[in-house]
Structure 1
Amino acid sequence: MQKKWKELTNNDLSAMHQLIVSAHPGALDSNNKAFASWVEQGYLEARQLSAQVKSKKDSLAVLNFYIAGFQDGHVGLSQSKQEKSSWAGFVLGMKGQSFIVKNVSKDWPVPLPPVGSEVVACDNKSVREILESDLSPYIDRRLKLHSTWLHLATQLTVDDVNYPVLGRVLPNNCLVTLPNGDQQHFTLLWRQERGELDPLLSQPQPPQTLKGLGDGRYWIHVSNFTPSAAENASLDKMLSGIKSINDAKLVVLDARGNRGGNSLVGVEILSALLGSKVVNGMGEQSRAYAMWRVSPFALSTLSHVLKSMEGDYGKNSEAYKFVSGLTESMGLALREKKDWLRQPSSSSIDQGKLKGFNAQGFKGKLALVTDSFCASACLDFADIVLAIPGTVHLGLPTSADTLYIDIGSQSLPSGAQFWLPLKVWRDRARGNNQSYDPSFIFDGDINDTAAVQKWVLDTI
């Protein structure tokens, strides 16, 4: 059986390596030598690790090791869950630089550190050292990002089926500073999760809505940039409502729960609020442009997206026409054996025809709320909002993107889905793997909408 898992791992690694070499823009990017280096060095290291693979869990750990080395949030793996995660009955978060108990099980056979306690060390090794040296190589190596540490912190007391670590030795005992300042050792009991854990690790997505809070204040949940056909209807309704709040004193754009998707959704929302001239003007001021890596994989991905857009938006939509033109250009570039295809400027999409067109535009105070999962199209949205003078940023530091974006996915020999980006930004104002850090940090439960709203309104 061990031999079988090792072969499966190496077959998956080979397929991943080939697809990155043939389709990822980083493999040809002369501005990013480190990426090209890891393509080969990481492949070699991962194949060496595969000798230790004894199970499906080990296999995933080795694949994730290779992926983590790219430090690219748009390179990833998804597969059907067959096993369950285990945990020690509590989950950590962060407060400042400290690792704090954020949630505890309601029913655990052994004593657990109370919520608010600081976990200092486990098995005589500091928490920071465990996260950096033991877990980070398999989960996320972008240690300059606060969002990475937040994610790693949750993994200390969780043996996550999605983020396994090869040969991981689970901690037995942790030294904890209690809320009253006393220190105490806690023996850890690890058990398979029974429905309590997943809600603690997942980031809920508030419904995308416009809410009036009274006294000229409005709260807009911008949480879903991948709306279904049905959700598009409610988006239209929301856009109509946004266009009528020109006289508002304050608008809070709440991006909690937003995982990215179609940047055009964000543009529509901002055009409805600010006026398309403002949004379009910012696009024209930017020197950024995108280059697609020309490959059969990029062409098949664009063709698939085009079919999906026909169902969601219709052939007469600006989004469909834009992708249709891009797909034709990709086919031509492939036939001409080119390496790169420049994407037409987004200003070629007529902003005036967008569903959210607003000739007037809101002129009051603007605030943006983010969580630590804001990435991809959510960050594109933040780029525009935070460029508006006077915008106040609150919540948690965002995640970050490389300059590589727009993903496609392919099945690996094992059946897992491997996804990777297909284009690279040039001259983008936001740097490679650069996050946005709020002026005001929320230290409570970022998923508690009522608490976040009260804090935001009290703060600004």
Structure 2
Amino acid sequence: MLLPLLRARRALLPALLLTLLPATAGAAGKTAADWQAAARADIEAVHQLILTAHPGSIDELNPGFRVWAEQGYREALQLIPRVNSYDSMMAAARYYVSGFRDGHLIYSDNARRDYPMLVNGWRLRKQGSDYVVDAHLKDWPAPLPPLGAQLLRCDGREVDAILAEDVAPYIERRSNGKLAEHLAGALTVPALPDLQLKRCQFRTAQGAVLDMPITYQGIPMQRYFQPWEKAPPKSPQQQRRSNKFSFEDGVLWISAANFNALPSKEQIAEFDAMLADLGTLQGVRLMVFDVRGNGGGSSVIGDKIFTAATGGLDYDKQDLDKLPRTYAQWRVSDLLLETAGKFTQGFVTRYGPDSAEAKRSEAFLKQVQQARAKGETWVEQPGGNLLTRAEVARRGGKLRRYGGPVALLTDASCASACLDFADLVLSVPGAVHLGRTTGADTLYIDVGRARLPSGNVLVMPQKVWRNRLRGSDEALAPGIVLKADLDDDAAVRAETLAALKRDRRAAP
């Protein structure tokens, strides 16, 4: 891959409503008309970038993309009269962006400055099929629903309907379990002035039903990110995971949890040392690749971990040219030129001008420059031939340095470069997939960043894959679904090893 496959997660900051705060709005120095003009400018800029730089707008294999590019643009413009604040400006722009249902296409929130956030003082969390109040803002001036109370409905509407109609269109329209958790938390702040909750019913832990008015208050962003008063957790808390491994009783457990580009030479050296250690291990009888918490990043990092642990996948190469060709097409644009230049400079700084990473990036930059000069639309990136798992097995696929069982452990966070890594591991004949169903991504990946009139940034894919092993928006479902809380490392390890012991493919 010529540029790191960057998985930028959608920012899920709440929306701001200033209708209840005329004094605050005045202090901020902007009127509703100002915010409406800002929303229009950003929506128009996003529309123009989509048309001139996104591969989807000229992708003949995906006509539906162009349909939303225009329909969504018109619908977003119709929201402008409802805009009166920074956050409702964001909501209008994100309505357009979220309609593409692509985790690589993101409207950022980094121009907020001192604009306040209007919140209701409590935060919701999804637990199973229920929605439970799990946090309060401290020193809230009005009554709040008790911690642990279940939200039943608001204003005569079911919670799922509120999230689907009033939250998802302005934040995240794709559906999987992980994204649903984000939507519940986003109910703290409405996206547009007419989407405020007025009255809700809750069921307490003791079974009593409470009917309460919902109040909103403007707060500084800094207060929102200070510690909230939380209900005692009923399960282990989600952990920040890193790339590491453990080797015990012949079980090599590799946590491949972070594929983000390494920002410093020190971290690069630490990562390289881990890879070297992996290559020296002897007596491995079971290998588990654990990608819990991995939301993507650079596929190069995953490839290096896999190769260090296994020596890489080998198979009969005869007549490969008879298989379908896999390749990517980069959309030639000003944004791609800028992105390629930035990555080249970054690789030179981190790895050195003579490194393979820097030279590869410089060569790609020259390709883009030459294509631009010739007026060409695409720069092609070869991807080899399409090797399905069945084809690898037919060709006698095996790992070069390890002949034992291989397992992959996933959760719903797995997307982008994490999915590329999952494809690689599952290409090993006999590999067992455990955990939960992954996320999914479209064929549009490898992002650039364009600054918008508001100061916020549009993160946008710049290339499209052709004949990729995994289809567009195709999630990977495990053959063995784990029942353990995936944040409980001990329980996950115990259930994983027990399940693999029962599975004949993974029997050491």
**Which bracket does the TM-score occupy, shorter chain normalised?**
0.7 to 0.9
Which residue in the other structure is 1:403 paired with? 443
Which residue in the other structure is 1:184 paired with? 209
Which residue of the other structure, out of 143, 146, 149, is the alignment partner of 2:180?
149
C-alpha distance after superposition, 1:283-333 (max 9, x if no partner): 997843101111121111111111101122223333333222221111111
Q: How far does residue 414 in structure 1 lie from its aligned partner after superposition?
A: 1.0
Structure 2 residue 227 is the aligned partner of structure 1 residue 196 = yes
Instruction: Work out whether residues 314 and 399 of structure 2, in 8 Å CA contact, stay in contact via their aligned partners in 1.
Output: no
Structure 2 residue 124 is the aligned partner of structure 1 residue 91 = yes
The secondary structure found in structure 2 opposite 1:65 is helix
Structure 2 residue 344 is the aligned partner of structure 1 residue 306 = yes
C-alpha distance after superposition, 1:223-251 (max 9, x if no partner): 22122222111111111122133531222
Q: In structure 2, do the counterparts of structure 1 residues 122 and 305 end up closer, same or farther at CA, with 3 Å as the change threshold?
A: same
Q: How far does residue 252 in structure 1 lie from its aligned partner after superposition?
A: 2.3
> TM-score, length-normalised on structure 2?
0.77
The secondary structure found in structure 1 opposite 2:195 is coil
C-alpha distance after superposition, 1:242-292 (max 9, x if no partner): 2133531222222223222211111111111221344998x9978431011
Q: How far does residue 367 in structure 1 lie from its aligned partner after superposition?
A: 2.5
**% identical equivalent positions:** 34
Which residue in the other structure is 1:174 paired with? 201
Which residue in the other structure is 2:412 paired with? 372
Question: How far apart are the structure 1 equivalents of 2:315 and 2:269?
Answer: 23
Q: In structure 2, do the counterparts of structure 1 residues 122 and 388 end up closer, same or farther at CA, with 3 Å as the change threshold?
A: farther
Which residue in the other structure is 2:158 paired with? 126
Unaligned runs of 5+ in 2: 1-30, 386-397, 501-508
Paired positions, count: 436
Instruction: Work out whether residues 410 and 418 of structure 1, in 8 Å CA contact, stay in contact via their aligned partners in 2.
Output: yes
Instruction: Work out whether residues 147 and 398 of structure 1, in 8 Å CA contact, stay in contact via their aligned partners in 2.
Output: no
Q: In structure 2, do the counterparts of structure 1 residues 218 and 359 end up closer, same or farther at CA, with 3 Å as the change threshold?
A: closer
Paired residues for 1:159-308 under 5 Å: 159=189, 164-165=191-192, 167-170=194-197, 172-176=199-203, 184-185=209-210, 187=212, 193=224, 195-196=226-227, 204-212=239-247, 214-225=248-259, 226-228=261-263, 229-245=265-281, 247-278=283-314, 287-308=325-346
Instruction: Work out whether residues 259 and 378 of structure 1, in 8 Å CA contact, stay in contact via their aligned partners in 2.
Output: yes
The structure whose Rg is larger is 2
Question: How far apart are the structure 1 equivalents of 2:166 and 2:44?
Answer: 25
Instruction: Work out whether residues 484 and 495 of structure 2, in 8 Å CA contact, stay in contact via their aligned partners in 1.
Output: no
The secondary structure found in structure 1 opposite 2:64 is helix
Q: In structure 2, do the counterparts of structure 1 residues 52 and 103 end up closer, same or farther at CA, with 3 Å as the change threshold?
A: closer
Paired residues for 1:33-182 under 5 Å: 33-80=63-110, 81-82=112-113, 83-84=116-117, 86=119, 88-95=121-128, 98-101=129-132, 103-104=134-135, 110-112=144-146, 114=148, 119-143=151-175, 145-156=176-187, 158-159=188-189, 164-165=191-192, 167-170=194-197, 172-176=199-203
Q: How far does residue 74 in structure 1 lie from its aligned partner after superposition?
A: 0.8
Question: How far apart are the structure 2 equivalents of 1:190 and 1:246?
Answer: 60
> TM-score, length-normalised on structure 1?
0.84
Which residue in the other structure is 2:474 paired with? 434
Q: In structure 2, do the counterparts of structure 1 residues 441 and 262 end up closer, same or farther at CA, with 3 Å as the change threshold?
A: same
Question: How far apart are the structure 2 equivalents of 1:146 and 1:286?
Answer: 34
Give the partner amino acid of 2:181: L
Unaligned runs of 5+ in 1: 348-357
